[in-house]
Structure 1
Amino acid sequence: MLDVKWIRDNPEAFDEGLARRGLSPLSARIQEIDARRRALQTEMQDLQARRNEASKQIGKIKSQGGDASAIMEEVAAFKGKLAEAEEAEKAAAAEIDVLLMALPNIPADDVPAGKDETENVEIRTWGTPRAFDFDPKEHDALGTGLGLMDFETAAGLSGARFVVLKGKLARLERALAQFMLDLHTGEHGYTEMNTPVLVRDEPLYGTGQLPKFAEDLFRTEDGRWLIPTAEVTLTNTVADQILTEDTLPIRMTAFTLCFRSEAGAAGKDTRGMIRQHQFEKVELVSIAHPDHSDAEHERMTQCAEEVLKRLNLPYRVVALCTGDMGFSARKTYDIEVWLPGQGRYREISSCSNTGDFQARRMKARFRPEGEKGTRFVHTLNGSALAVGRCMVAVLENYQQADGSIVVPEALRPYMGGVEVIAADV
């Protein structure tokens, strides 16, 4: 959520930020409602002061045996006026909250301008795509050819955009998750967490999925939601808290099931495992000091990149433009892995700095050392990595002409020493 005071003090910068997001200016409307709210607050303070003073006069008059009925009627009138002002102030505050809850974060100054993903900016590449002496297949053809990836059974169980993995491919997906967790906890300083996949409304409001993106989520009959990412639960572990400065940064990682309805993805990636309703991710979340969040963003992105380096999977890092950036982000790097079956790079991770946008929604603050006041923390999140997409990349990059898959060396300890995944004959 954006800061009303900042909007009041920087209306032109606010409208310019909205324009970079492709939105119309709103500073005048927000300032008008805010001015009305603040005027009502002043009126409430004046009424309360006059009421208190009148109450003192009543006591004084009664102690002297006088008639205080006229002043008592005046106090009763103050009470009614105060209630009306309080109701009007609450309505104005709610009106501002509704507006702000629907507004995305303002992009950082160095975010490239652009309308969609075609205008994202490549930052760096790593690795050289493998030269095949045969036509490389896509992952779904490889998996079904091995007899270890079953979309038909999954469709019978759950419908489209699900998969059943068997045998060594099921183990490969588990191996990838374990490898990522061990890397991030053992070498990158993240604390492993195990969090719920069902949440109430408040955590999703806190991280920005609600109210705007309800249609992209799955909801249970008792009113809870299936998480679209562990960003929701990890980030909200500091909701409504005042942290001490010396605890920052807090770095957390979790391996969870994730669920997305893909309501806005009709017709996209209908085959295979790229875009599914249920998938697995290893998520990274940092709760950072505002002065250090930009550096933490770079660090987090490098931690995610390291997974692909250890697996020897070529990739590139792109800075998302204003038109492609997520709702809560002020700056985002996407990591895109090379998929030879498709002959192009595909997103495997997004690492975002949200600044204090989520922290304001969650009321997550810290107290700087030696100061009485508090400041909002900055929150960051990143996939490190999307496990299913990482398996897709392993299958396509490590395929052999006979359809078998070489297991990357980094994963062999997690695969019981298996070096090649081949069809059972």
Structure 2
Amino acid sequence: MLQINYIRENRDSVIQRLGIRNFKPLELVDEVIVLDEQRRQTQAQSDALSAEANTAAKQIGELMRQGKRDEAETIKAQSGGYKEQLKKLADELAAVERLLQDKLVLLPNLPHQSVPKGVGAEDNEVVLEHGHHPNLPENALPHWELAAKYDIIDFELGTKVTGAGFPVYKGKGARLQRAMINFFLDQAEKAGYQEVQPPILINEASGFGTGQLPDKEGQMYHVGTDDLYLIPTAEVPLTNLYRDVIVKEEDFPIKLTAYTPCFRREAGSYGAHVRGLNRLHQFDKVEVVQLVHPDQSYGVFETMSAYVQSLLQALNLPYRVLRLCGGDMGFTSALTYDMEVWSAAQKRWLEVSSVSNFETYQSNRLKVRFKGQDGKMQLAHTLNGSALALPRILATMLENNQSDRGIKIPEVLVPYTGFEWIA
């Protein structure tokens, strides 16, 4: 959530930066400023009236001690309306604060100065490309056919048990999933991240804190009876561990990692591009999260990007890094890099990770603060990255490593799988 003081003091800049996102209801900025002025005026009136009431109370007490009862009663009669007026102002203040909050949460984060203006994915910038595209034989198969051929993933059985988008991993397919999870967690631990096993159900306050609510409620699975949500990513419970916490400046950076299943409704997704593992309702992912000092966040952002790339390099997967344009960026992000791997059988790029810096947008909602060296409270910066999401990594691994002998397992995973080939 944007800070109201910043909006008020930098109106034109806020409007200009929201324009980079192609954010249309820019009138919300002025509505927020007007409501904030109403809030401040009402608060000032309440404070002034409260001061008058306190002064009158002191005068009455002093006059009573002096035995000047008649004078005290006169002032008491004159100040009799203070209580009712203060209650009215309190009600007005609560109402305008609610309306201000409702408007404020509709404003997305401001994009970083490096974010290019654009409408969609076609306007994203390629930052770098790494590795060579493998040359596969003419009879190369996409991963869903390889999964059936080697009986390692059963999409139909998942549909029977639950529905489309919930595959069943079997045999070496299940073992390979577990191997990747353990490898990614071990690498995160080596990089200084503390492993956490968080809940996979969250309450509304947690969804609001990281920006999934009220923006993405239609994309999350809701458990209505208990008013809980299945997590779309471990970012949500991990970051919320520090909700309403004042952290110590010397504890930065706070580095967390977790493996969780993730759940996304993906409403409206259809077509060949979502076939097989390309888009699922349930999938496994290892996430990394950092809470950092504001002065360090963009250096940390680049370090997190390099870390995710190191995982792709270890798996020997060709990839590219994209800087997302304003129109393709998430609601809460100030800057996002997407990592995409090249699927040789499908002949297309598949997104496998996003690394984002949210600056103070999440921490303002979460009230994650620290006391700076000047003694003043400041908001921390939050960042997160997929390290990595498994489905498309597995899809690309199966496709790119296929041969007449079978599917070659990347060398770094063999100690975890216990086998070198799926054949």
- 3-state DSSP class of the match of 2:328? coil
Could you list the per-position Cα deviations for residues 288-326 of structure 1 after superposition, in whole angstroms to 9, with x for gaps in the alignment? 110010010000011111111001000000100000000
Among 52, 55, 58, which residue is 1:53 paired with? Answer: 55
| Stretch of structure 1 that moved more, 157-166 or 61-70 | 61-70
- On the 8 A contact 1:300/1:351 being kept in 2, the answer is yes
**Partner amino acid for 1:56?**
K
| CA distance in 1 between partners of 2:274 and 2:77 (Å) | 72
Give the alignment partner of residue 195 of structure 1, picking from 185, 195, 198: 198
Is residue 338–residue 346 contact of structure 1 (8 Å, CA) maintained in 2?
Answer: yes
Give the counterpart of 1:150 among 150, 154, 165: 154
Q: AA paired with 2:64?
A: K
Question: Secondary structure of the equivalent of 2:260?
Answer: strand
Q: Aligned partners of 1:319, 1:395: CA distance in 2, in Å?
A: 27
CA distance in 2, matches of 1:317, 1:74: 71
Q: 2:351 — aligned with what?
A: 347
Could you tell me how far 1:264 is from its partner in structure 2? 4.3
- Deviation (angstroms), 1:267: 4.3
Instruction: Pick one of 402, 407, 410 that aligns with 1:408.
Output: 410
1:184: Cα distance to partner? Answer: 1.3
**Structure 2 letter corresponding to 1:256:** T
SS in 1 for 2:278: coil
SS at match of 2:147: helix
Deviation at 1:401, TM superposition (A): 3.4
- Name the SS for the 2:301 alignment partner: helix
3-state DSSP class of the match of 2:333?
Answer: coil
Number of the residue aligned with 1:21: 21
Where does residue 420 of structure 2 map in the other structure? 419
Q: 1:252-263 maps to which residues of 2 (within 5 A)? A: 252-263=256-267
Question: What SS does the aligned partner of 2:80 have?
Answer: helix
CA distance in 2, matches of 1:237, 1:203: 9
Deviations 1:1-47 (A, max 9, x none): 00110011000011112222222323321111111110001101110
Distance 2:295 2:376 in 1: 16
What are the Cα deviations for residues 370-403 of structure 1, in whole angstroms up to 9, with x where unaligned? x32111000000001001221111101111136x
Partner of 2:7: 7
Pairing 1:26-425 to 2, within 5 Å after superposition = 26-63=28-65, 64-67=67-70, 68-186=72-190, 188-220=191-223, 221-267=225-271, 269-369=273-373, 371-401=374-404, 404-416=406-418, 418-422=419-423
1:74 Cα offset (Å): 3.2
For residue 91 of structure 1, report the CA deviation from its aligned partner. Answer: 1.2
Q: In the aligned structure 2, how far is the partner of 1:75 from the partner of 1:230? A: 56
Output the amino acid matched with 2:203: R
Taking a change above 3 Å as real, the CA distance of residues 52 and 268 of structure 1, as seen in their structure-2 partners, is farther
Q: In terms of mean alpha carbon deviation, does 81-90 or 312-321 score higher? A: 81-90
CA distance in 2, matches of 1:10, 1:383: 33
3-state SS of paired residue (1:181): helix
Measure the CA separation in 2 of the matches of 1:122 and 1:203: 33
Q: Residue type matched to 1:218 in 2?
A: Y
Q: Is the 8 A contact 1:366 1:374 kept in 2?
A: yes
CA shift, 1:266, in A, is 4.3
Segments of 5+ residues of structure 1 without an aligned counterpart are none
Deviation at 1:270, TM superposition (A): 4.0
Number of matched pairs: 418
Q: 2: distance between equivalents of 1:263 and 1:214?
A: 11
CA contact (8 A) 1:245 1:367 kept: yes
- For 2:201 and 2:99, the matched residues in 1 are separated by 29
> What SS class does the counterpart of residue 76 from structure 1 fall into?
coil
Please tell me the residue identity of whatever aligns with 1:15: I
Paired with 2:77 and 2:330, the residues of 1 have a C-alpha distance of 56
Whether contact under 8 Å (1:368, 1:375) holds in the other structure is yes
Offset of residue 268 of structure 1? 6.7
Partner secondary structure for residue 238 of structure 1 = coil
Deviation at 1:138, TM superposition (A): 1.2
Take 1:400 and 1:301, find their aligned partners in 2: how far apart are those partners?
31
Cα pair 2:22 2:118 within 8 Å, conserved: no
Against the structure 1 CA distance between its residues 381 and 264, is the aligned structure 2 distance closer, same or farther, given a 3 Å change threshold? Answer: farther
The alignment's C-alpha RMSD in Å is 1.3
Tell me if structure 2 keeps the 8 A contact 1:134–1:401: no
> For the residues of structure 2 that align with 1:266 and 1:73, how far apart are their CA atoms?
72
Q: CA deviation at 1:145?
A: 1.3
- 1:66, CA displacement in angstroms? 1.6
- The amino acid of 1:168's aligned partner reads K
Letter in 2 for 1:344: R
**Partner SS, residue 323 of structure 1:** helix
- Distance in 2 of aligned mates of 1:82 and 1:312: 68
Give the Cα separation in 2 of the matches to 1:89 and 1:74: 25
Q: Is the 8 A contact 1:192 1:254 kept in 2?
A: yes
- Amino acid aligned to 2:386: S
Identity of aligned residues (%): 40
SS state of the match for residue 17, structure 1? helix
Q: CA deviation at 1:65?
A: 4.0
Instruction: Give, in angstroms, the shift of residue 69 of structure 1.
Output: 3.2
Distance in 1 (CA, whole Å) between partners of 2:343 and 2:97 is 49
Is the 1:366–1:376 contact (alpha carbons within 8 Å) kept by the matching residues of 2?
yes
